[in-house]
């Protein structure tokens, strides 16, 4: 974990390299605060696992947290993360389409 810009960039992307974390960020895509309990129900994840993933994202600055009573709420720290997500999704789906066309033509 060096501190050059490539490592920083890679460390940030590491946050996005797990399906649970992607899903959680999608649940938070509206930019609003979400309590842990809600995400646990919706996502169907184990409590410890969920808490660990939230902690990773918080540590990397991808989400913010606030405490209210005994609940903890999280929200996305920067909506450009969602914009980047949508670009990556577009890349994935047009890649899939391209592979589909190849398949039709007998390529692979």
Residues that bind a copy of itself (CB under 8 A): 2, 4-14, 16-23, 26, 61, 77-78, 80-81, 83-85, 87-92, 94-95, 99
- State yes or no: residue 48 binds DNA (CB under 7 A): yes
**Phi and psi torsions of 29, nearest 5°:** -65, -20
Tokens 């399906």 sit on residue: 19
Among 43, 51, 60, 64, binds DNA (CB under 7 A): 51
Q: Which two tokens stand for residue 3?
A: 């501190």
Q: Which two tokens stand for residue 12?
A: 């940030």
**Phi and psi torsions of 15, nearest 5°:** -60, -35
Q: Draw the binding track, 1-40, toward DNA (x: CB under 7 A; -: no contact).
A: x------------x--xxxx--------------xxx--x
> Min. distance of Cβ 104 from a copy of itself in angstroms?
17
Please give the residue ranges that form the binding site for DNA (CB under 7 A).
Answer: 1, 14, 17-20, 35-37, 40, 45-49, 51-56, 65, 67, 69-72
């Amino acid at each position: 974990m060096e501190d050059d810009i490539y490592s920083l960039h890679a460390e940030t992307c590491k946050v996005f390299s797990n399906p649970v974390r992607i899903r959680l960020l999608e649940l938070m895509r509206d930019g609003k605060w979400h309590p842990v309990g809600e995400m646990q129900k919706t996502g169907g994840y184990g409590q410890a696992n969920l808490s660990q993933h939230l902690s990773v994202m918080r540590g990397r600055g991808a989400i913010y947290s606030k405490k209210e009573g005994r609940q903890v709420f999280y929200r996305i720290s920067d909506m450009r993360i969602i914009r980047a997500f949508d670009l990556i999704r577009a890349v994935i789906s047009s890649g899939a389409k391209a592979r589909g066309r190849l398949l039709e033509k007998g390529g692979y």
